[in-house]
Amino acid sequence: MTDSITLTTYQKSNLEKIIISTPDSVSGIVIGGRWEAVVRLLPASNVIIVTDTNISGIYGKRFPRFPVLKIRPGEDSKRLKTIESLAGKLLNSGIDRSGFLLGIGGGVVCDITGFLASVFMRGIRFGYVSTSLLSQVDASTGGKNGVNLGETKNVIGTFRQPEFVICDTTMLRTLPDDEYSSGLGELIKTGIIGDRSIIEILEDNYADVLKRNRDILSVLVAKAVRYKASVVAKDEKESGLRRVLNFGHTFGHAVELHDGVKHGFAVASGMMLAATFSRNKGLLRDDDFNRIMHLLKRYNFPTEINMDPAKIESLILHDKKKAGSDINFVFIKGFEKPLIKKIPLQEVIDFYRQNLKGN
């Protein structure tokens, strides 16, 4: 842990701002404000906006008056070729080291914007308007920026904090249903590992959550960001504690790459497997396990996986959490009780073969 990393949070009416201070940067995450206020946080010039064609079609007319670079929506854009193309356009536009990148979009746009800003001219300033639930509760907070290489997710990347993130939950009303549900998957993950009150809100306010009630979503996003920010403040570079945020991701990334499903759905499948693994090891009580399964089913997440064990093994072998023949696997001992344990990769594969394939 670095002593100079601090976390501050304060509220004003229905607006909450969470500040993460690291030795190299200060990042402010604003929840509850309107996204159009971003113009007050930007330089007067030398700004480029990065977005995707979907977001541009919905909100583009209200963007600040700066040049816009558009990418195709979806995970396929998270490639080095996209970074190279955008960097060339930045260079041609005259952006220099005093430039600023504003990413307006979901997790893919934020990842690409953060990565591009981190490497262009060895680093320029950047910030986000986070437009998806997945991005607001997870992807845009914490300073991890990455792109995929082949079948391996986020294996090329940087750690660098945005200057600000704006999370306006009114923007979630325009999300397609599957994108919204994907964000709920990551929200459930945060509730399981870090803040059980998120689970209670999701259980007690099912109808309002599905209706995308702005007030409830603002509370949920703030709780998720507050927890993740507290973890990042203690372990910015993922050398220890921050690994708890990977709960459900070892199997989840394999499912995402194999089946092409949205990230949150894949993580939900991975959480189901991780919870089962935890219960089988005697770490997780049956009542907590059943509560997790019931919540996943209620929000229509799949609770069965039938991937070929050989394919699961192949994909997990490329997981960046791997350490030689071992992997840092995130178990749970109960709500708010994640456990990081280095175990042989073969044990993970054997668990899948024995418990999910009926062998």
Which tokens go with 71?
């990418």
Burial profile 214-223: b = 16 or more Cβ within 10 angstroms, e = fewer: bebbbbbbbb
> Counting runs of H as helices and runs of E as strands, what totals does the chain give?
13, 13
Please state the φ and ψ torsions of residue 102, each to the nearest 5 degrees: -115, 115
> Would you call 322 a catalytic residue per the annotation?
no
Taking CB atoms within 8 Å and a gap of at least 24, the contacts of 58-61 are: 58/174, 59/35, 59/104, 59/131, 59/171
Alpha-carbon distances of 16 from 28, 29, 70, 262, rounded to whole Å:
10, 8, 30, 29
Helices 309-316, 345-356: crossing angle, 10 deg rounding? 160
Q: Residue 110: how many CB atoms within 10 A of its CB?
A: 30
Task: Tell me the pairing of strands 6-12 and 15-21.
Answer: antiparallel
Among residues 12, 122, 306, 359, the one annotated as catalytic is: 122
> Would you call 186 a catalytic residue per the annotation?
yes
Among residues 125, 144, 153, 243, the one annotated as catalytic is: 144
Among residues 179, 186, 236, 256, the one annotated as catalytic is: 186
Residues in the chain: 359
Among residues 189, 246, 262, 279, the one annotated as catalytic is: 246
> Would you call 263 a catalytic residue per the annotation?
yes
Among residues 70, 78, 263, 321, the one annotated as catalytic is: 263
Among residues 70, 189, 223, 242, the one annotated as catalytic is: 242
Among residues 238, 243, 262, 313, the one annotated as catalytic is: 238
Among residues 249, 262, 279, 321, the one annotated as catalytic is: 249
Report which residue type is found at 326.
D
End-to-end CA distance of the chain: 43
d(CA 303, CA 323): 28
> Would you call 228 a catalytic residue per the annotation?
yes
Among residues 253, 262, 279, 321, the one annotated as catalytic is: 253
Please state the φ and ψ torsions of residue 161, each to the nearest 5 degrees: -80, 140
> Would you call 242 a catalytic residue per the annotation?
yes
Which tokens go with 106?
């979901």
Q: What share of the chain is helix, strand, coil (3-state, %, to 5)?
A: 50, 20, 30
> Cβ(176)–Cβ(134) under 8 Å?
no
> Would you call 253 a catalytic residue per the annotation?
yes
d(CA 175, CA 299): 16
Q: What are the catalytic residues?
A: 122, 144, 186, 228, 238, 242, 246, 249, 253, 263
